[in-house]
């Protein structure tokens, strides 16, 4: 049985505007979102957003239709060690510096793009940023690790 997966996009925080009831987050990619300052997970999520801003690292973000941030996920980076086909479900993925088997589901809307990044990472020995959802380590987004200098302007972050 497939678990429910929250799809997130890896984005870089450009600015955080803390207001009394909510926090507005502006991303380099041109998007912005709003997150409540209240809530069980929101304090942790706001810390992840601040860490993204401070360290110029991406963070996984899910938005609802109104632009509210519904989930924030911590991004990791590593070199892909191996990716193998797993019957009809998709790919099983192993990273050099992470324990466990990660999964890229075939029904992911960006399956082909992420699969291409995985294959290129192995071939080029090039690190990637990734974010997962759920206890089965389902990969939900992946981008290349690049030089932090590109954050000085508003260029696209992926080739």
Per-residue pLDDT reduced to its tens digit, 77-135: 999 999 999 877 899 999 999 999 999 999 999 999 999 999 999 999 999 999 999 88
Query: Does 9-74 match 76-148 in CATH topology?
Result: yes
Going from the C-alpha of 28 to that of each of 32, 33, 54, 57, 76, the distances in angstroms are 9, 12, 14, 11, 19
Domain locations along the chain:
9-74, 76-148
Strand order in the sheet with 32-36: 13-18, 22-27, 32-36
The pTM score is: 0.87
Beta strand 128-133 pairing with 9-11: unpaired
Annotation: CATH topology of 9-74: OB fold (Dihydrolipoamide Acetyltransferase, E2P) (2.40.50)
What is the pLDDT of the chain when averaged over all its residues? 89
Annotation: CATH topology of 76-148: OB fold (Dihydrolipoamide Acetyltransferase, E2P) (2.40.50)
Q: So what's the pLDDT on residue 88?
A: 75
Q: So what's the pLDDT on residue 149?
A: 40
Angstrom distance (rounded) from CA 139 to CA 129: 11
71 within 8 A of 63, measured Cβ to Cβ? no
- The CB-side HSE value for 24 (13 A sphere, CA atoms) comes to 6
Using the predicted structure, report yes or no on whether residue 38 has a pLDDT greater than 80: yes
| Count of CB atoms situated within 10 Å of the CB of 32 | 15
């Amino acid at each position: 049985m497939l678990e429910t997966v929250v799809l997130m996009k890896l984005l870089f925080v450009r600015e955080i505007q803390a207001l009394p009831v909510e926090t507005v987050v502006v991303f380099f990619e041109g998007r912005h979102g709003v997150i409540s300052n209240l809530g069980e997970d929101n304090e942790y999520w706001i810390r992840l957003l601040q860490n993204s801003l401070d360290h110029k690292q991406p963070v996984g973000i899910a938005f609802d239709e109104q632009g509210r941030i519904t989930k924030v996920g911590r991004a990791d980076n590593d070199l892909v060690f191996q990716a193998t086909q797993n019957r009809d479900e998709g790919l099983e993925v192993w990273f050099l510096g992470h324990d466990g088997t990660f999964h890229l589901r075939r029904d992911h809307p960006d399956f082909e793009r992420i699969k291409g990044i995985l294959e290129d990472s192995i071939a080029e020995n090039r690190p990637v940023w990734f974010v997962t959802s759920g206890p089965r380590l389902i990969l939900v987004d992946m981008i290349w690790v690049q030089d932090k200098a590109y954050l000085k302007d508003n260029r696209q972050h992926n080739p």
